[in-house]
Structure 1
Amino acid sequence: MDDFVAYLDTSEVRSGKLEELKTAMAELAAFVEQNEPRIISYSVCFSEDGSTMSVLHFHPDLASLEFHMKVAGPKFPPVAPLIKLKTIEIFGRPSEDLVAQLREKAQLLGTGSIIVRDVHAGFARFTRDQLSLP
């Protein structure tokens, strides 16, 4: 559980950009699924009125999130005109380098803040073997 990382970002959808954003995010999700075998889960969610988007992903460890930033990072700039990022929340213990990367992403996509929440207590009901991770 110590290495597990959850990521949640929340963005405002720019007026008139919802359908274009949905297409872009479906493409990004497919790219992540194809190119990031260690990521546990990646979900793009929209509020009922389409004004807010949240992206939630789970990683078995920091290396997986760092890899995501490296591999998917070049796919973020085309999304910038479609959203205004509000927050990125990390549940776990990110490195300073990772926090710096997330700050860069927040500046690229909006004016969002980075919130780090260190896990105090809890458990995970999965193991690396159950996830078929290398």
Structure 2
Amino acid sequence: MTDFVVYLDTSEVRPGKLGELKVAMADLASFVEANEPRIIAYNVYFSGDGSRMSVLHIHEDLALLNFHMSVAGPLFPPIAPLVNLLTIEIFGAVNDALLEQLVAKARILGGTVIIHDFGSGFARV
């Protein structure tokens, strides 16, 4: 079994907002890098046509994803007018407190929360 947690959210970019969104996400990524020294990865991806954005982050355990949500969470609301959140997917175990935070984020940005329970495999992280 592995303890690390992978977070992936996917959003539609609102028409005419791609440039502003890229700046906002670069600022958010810089904030996360400066304030979350134990995060394994935090990456923002855009589809080739700029219509979708995916944010992928990897945490060594659930506590660090909880930490991310509390530290970076206040920065999510200004991004809401730029995107239509489709899904937040979590690969790994969550607790009730984290699930509540994820659902709150989905309420702000739209979308649904999907939890994927660990089945089998390994990680070399």
Q: What TM-score does the superposition give when structure 2 sets the normalisation length?
A: 0.98
Give CA-to-partner distance per residue, 1:3-57, whole Å, 9 cap, x none: 2100000001000000000000000000000000111000000000000000000
Equivalent residue letter for 2:121: G
Matches within 5 A, 1:7-86: 7-86=7-86
Q: Which amino acid aligns with 1:56?
A: L
The 2-side partners of 1:115 and 1:77 are apart by 21
Runs of 4+ deviating beyond 4 Å: none
SS in 1 for 2:7: strand
Task: Give the whole-Å Cα distance in 2 for the aligned partners of 1:122 and 1:33.
Answer: 28
Q: Aligned partners of 1:86 and 1:100: how far apart in 2?
A: 17
2:99 alignment partner in structure 1: 99
Unaligned runs of 5+ in 2: none
Q: Provide the C-alpha distance between the structure 2 equivalents of 1:53 and 1:2, rounded to a whole number of angstroms.
A: 27
CA distance in 2, matches of 1:107, 1:62: 21
The two structures have a TM-score, normalised by structure 1, of 0.91
Q: What is the root-mean-square deviation of aligned Cα atoms in Å?
A: 0.7
User: Quick one: percent identity of the two aligned structures?
Assistant: 66
Structure 1 unaligned residues grouped into runs of 5+:
127-134
2:124 and 2:81 map into 1 onto residues whose CA distance is 39
Following superposition, the deviation at residue 96 of structure 1 comes to 1.2
How far 1:2 sits from its partner (Å)?
3.0
- Partner residue, 2:124: 125
